[in-house]
Structure 1
Amino acid sequence: MTASAETDSASVHTPGDSAPGVFRGRYGTTSLRVGAASIWLSVIVLLPLAAIVWQSVGGGWTAFWQAVTSNAALDSFRVTLSISAGVTVINLVFGLMVAWVLTRDEFPGKRIVDSVIDLPFALPTIVASLVMLALYGPASPVGLHLQHTKWGVGVALLFVTLPFVVRSVQPVLLELDRETEEAAASLGAGNRVIFTTVILPSLLPSLLSGAGLAFSRAIGEFGSVVLIGGAVPGETEVSSQWIRTLIENDDRTGAAAISIVLLVISFFILLVLRTVGSRAARREELSA
């Protein structure tokens, strides 16, 4: 065998040779990233959740059950869930409408409107409550007095949760294949048929994801409703305000128990909606 042949044969890598070394390096780097992400997630999210779970059962399961089934707690759950569900449905409709306008229509000031959508993300929630009180309080410039009413709480929650639906739907609308819509129109399909059979199935996963985020934010909201709502028991007192009352009364175990219930509800809703959305997305891919 010549020297060149030996060199050529030495340069050939078999599956058991140096290639696994490269893969081990890649896997090692991946493992390092996964480990760092897991540690960070544990410190920032899992440890606080574990602490509040521990505190919620600190007085035993009997105390936990009494805290979450008291009349005041049940009233706060009823108010919170009913208003949050209504707000989520409204934002699904109008959030989709806003996202559609921002992606499909051209008009003066479009960039300004697009920036305003993110304002609730940047605005402190207590400032949002002040804005709602100034607009819908006793001295309302528009003639609407919504303070200490469920409508006032609903308007505040609409304000803080709208961006979740818009920002979830908007990227999907931008990436939709317009040729499919044009083909359906050329075959005689009307706007309603095109929307329900072509566009809506593609938007469903993002709509459900945005709805889950909006609902989860609504049931845990405090700052934006604290002034406009007034925490009227059984009427406008949401669960987050009842938690504050329990803390002020030095009932930290009861406050933690209410928090766990809200956490479980939020997680369950997100899980269900994202599961449904994922299945809808897979059906859409298979049909395509």
Structure 2
Amino acid sequence: MLPGLPLSLGLTLSYVGLIILLPICALVYKAASLGPVAYWEIVSSPRAIASYRVTGLSALGATLFNLFFGFALAWVLVRYRFPGRRLVDAIVDLPFALPTAVAGIALTSLFAANGWFGSALAGIGIQVAYTPLGIMVAMAFTSLPFIVRTVQPVLEDLDPALEEGAQSLGASDLSIFFRVILPLLGPALLAGVSLSFARSLGEFGAIIFIAGNLPNQTEITALLTYIRLEEYDYQAAAAIASVLLITAFVMLAVTNILQAYGLRYTQKG
């Protein structure tokens, strides 16, 4: 037995119970107190369904953007040396340190019709602020580090001999990428995508300033939950929030299964 294991295990379980399990249990209990009929009426109301659609599609769009851009950013940071590389690497973690409300205000200022980016985009007929596109921008900003930071260490630890061996056998750069590198990065990419999507689903502060918050158009599920709390309708808030909770649990379960399968496939290969 490792020294200090009982104490460290006790502290860990206490932390998990108080900080993670207790709020989740309270949420489930509050939602379950409604009864199945009332619960279904709340979570299936037209306004709630519209918020699921806006949240889910925006999170999907932001995650797909981060999948390509985040992977490219991680690749550049690992494979190339250039002036300012350390600064760029530090900026990747900015969404972790920056309060989400501050990020939302900054993004709104940049992408508003009179903002630096917004005025340029308005010239070609693209409006970002107060549209679903603005929600995607906010989600992409806050969730980008999850993909970069999960892929980056795996890229750094890749054995160069694998690529050199493929090159000695006559494989092209494209073939090496898709048949050697990408399969090894699969589990890390999957983890990063799942974390990015989960963060986007639950994002609130960065979105409410840039979204416009119009019911059935740009109202996200987290905001609808907050509105129900402001109305002191705690059961309805818990019911709506439980939909996001269930979605996150299902997504993480599927991700873990796919990761386990990918690791077994990689080890066999």
TM range (shorter): over 0.9
Q: Could you tell me the TM-score, scaled by structure 1's length?
A: 0.88
**Aligned Cα RMSD in Å?**
1.3
2:262 corresponds to which of 280, 284, 288? 280
Within a 5 Å distance, the mapping from 1:1-288 to structure 2 comes to 26=1, 29-142=4-117, 143=119, 144=121, 145-287=127-269
Question: C-alpha separation between the residues in 2 aligned to 1:28 and 1:173?
Answer: 34
- Residue 59 of structure 1, CA deviation: 2.6
Question: C-alpha separation between the residues in 2 aligned to 1:246 and 1:52?
Answer: 14
Q: Which amino acid aligns with 2:217?
A: E
- For the 8 Å contact 1:148–1:229, the answer to whether it is kept is yes
SS of alignment partner, residue 135 of structure 2 = helix
Q: Which amino acid aligns with 1:260?
A: S
- Residue 27 of structure 1, CA deviation: 6.6
| 1:16 equivalent in structure 2 | none
- Cα deviation, 1:212-262, whole Å, max 9, x if unaligned, reads 100000011100010100111222111011111111222111111111110
The number of residues matched between the two structures is 262
- For the 8 Å contact 1:212–1:269, the answer to whether it is kept is yes
Q: Could you tell me the TM-score, scaled by structure 2's length?
A: 0.94
Question: C-alpha separation between the residues in 2 aligned to 1:28 and 1:204?
Answer: 36
Larger radius of gyration: 1
Note the residue ranges of structure 2 that are not aligned, 5 or more in a row: 122-126
Question: C-alpha separation between the residues in 2 aligned to 1:181 and 1:227?
Answer: 46
Q: Which amino acid aligns with 2:69?
A: F
- For the 8 Å contact 1:157–1:224, the answer to whether it is kept is yes
- Cα deviation, 1:145-165, whole Å, max 9, x if unaligned, reads 422101111111110010000
Question: C-alpha separation between the residues in 2 aligned to 1:27 and 1:153?
Answer: 48
Note the residue ranges of structure 1 that are not aligned, 5 or more in a row: 1-25
Q: Percent sequence identity over matched residues?
A: 41
